[in-house]
């Protein structure tokens, strides 16, 4: 199945006042590429607090101009990468896998016994 290039972009998605980022560069393996060490995600907490309630004075296209420009340039924001052959998985010695191993919990630990003393 052919994957649409628009699904492989790092771009802003805007619906009225709500903004989210489609960060295909953080899930490159889904598109058949080797994953790179991702940049820190953008903190959109302040933007997520914005809504249209009582904001009739705000001209949203101007307020979100930077993000709209990112969307308009989406054809230039398609991720590029080295094809992933699927071999190695966690035994892969690429910089990404070394980073991943140091930043994730790879194994689920057995549940610890629970006692009434743990409840406050």
Assess if residue 113 is contained within a domain. no
Query: What is the number of domains present in the chain?
Result: 1
5 or 91, which is more confident? 5
pLDDT, tens digit, 9 for 90 and up, residues 35-58: 899 888 888 888 888 777 777 788
Assess if residue 44 is contained within a domain. yes
Assess if residue 75 is contained within a domain. yes
pLDDT over 70 at 73, yes or no: yes
> What pLDDT does residue 72 have?
94
Assess if residue 33 is contained within a domain. yes
Assess if residue 117 is contained within a domain. no
> What pLDDT does residue 90 have?
56
> Domain range holding 21?
5-107
73-to-7, 8, 59, 69, 80 alpha-carbon distances in Å: 14, 13, 21, 6, 15
Residues of the chain above pLDDT 70, percent: 80
Assess if residue 9 is contained within a domain. yes
Assess if residue 119 is contained within a domain. no
**pLDDT confidence bin for 65, thresholds 50/70/90:** very high
Assess if residue 60 is contained within a domain. yes
> What pLDDT does residue 69 have?
95
Distance CA 82, CA 44 (A): 29
Distance CA 111, CA 61 (A): 50
């Amino acid at each position: 199945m052919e994957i649409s290039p628009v699904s492989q972009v790092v771009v802003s998605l805007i619906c009225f006042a709500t903004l989210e980022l489609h960060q295909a560069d953080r899930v490159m393996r889904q598109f058949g590429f080797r994953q790179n060490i991702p940049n820190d995600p953008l903190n959109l907490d302040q933007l997520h607090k914005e809504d249209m309630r009582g904001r009739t004075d705000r001209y949203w296209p101007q307020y979100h101009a930077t993000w709209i420009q990112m969307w308009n340039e989406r054809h230039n924001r398609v991720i590029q990468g080295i094809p992933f052959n699927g071999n190695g998985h966690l035994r892969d010695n690429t910089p990404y896998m070394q980073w991943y191993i140091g930043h994730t919990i790879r194994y689920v630990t057995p549940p610890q016994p629970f006692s009434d003393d743990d409840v406050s």
